[in-house]
A = this chain, B = another copy of it.
């Protein structure tokens, strides 16, 4: 059993093309023994965003802090603290922080995509 929290988890900038003002933590991943799924946490500064892209894996998301939009294809959908989001495989998507505080969200993916 692993128990951790965000202050204990290293935060690294997201260097992925198309990302801006984004950092990533990995509270639970394959090196912890997670056999199928990993929990990543992304923090987007105001004005920051993840890539607007498509991939074969799904995302299971939970908004921990802040507000912004999740792009469903090219349509912005408002999200805020307490929202759960399912991005299905091959669905074009992006997270954007349109607020004035950091947008913090969990992003669960299969371990091979962590």
Contact = CB atoms under 8 A, between A and B. Distances in A.
B62 A106 contact: yes
A85 B36 contact: no
B87 A60 contact: no
Contact of A108 (B33, B79, B85, B108): B108
Contact of A35 (B58, B82, B83): B58
Q: Of residues A5, A60, A110, which shows the largest number of chain B Cβ atoms within 10 Å of its Cβ?
A: A60
Given A28-B60, A34-B58, A36-B36, A1 B110 contact: no
Contact-residue size bin, chain A (C-beta under 8 Å from the other chain): 35 or more
Task: State the copy count for this chain.
Answer: 2
A36 to B, nearest CB: 6
Contact of A86 (B33, B70, B77): B33
Interface string A61-77: 01000000010100001
Contact of A3 (B35, B36, B83): B83
B77 A60 contact: no
Interface string A25-41: 00110001111110100
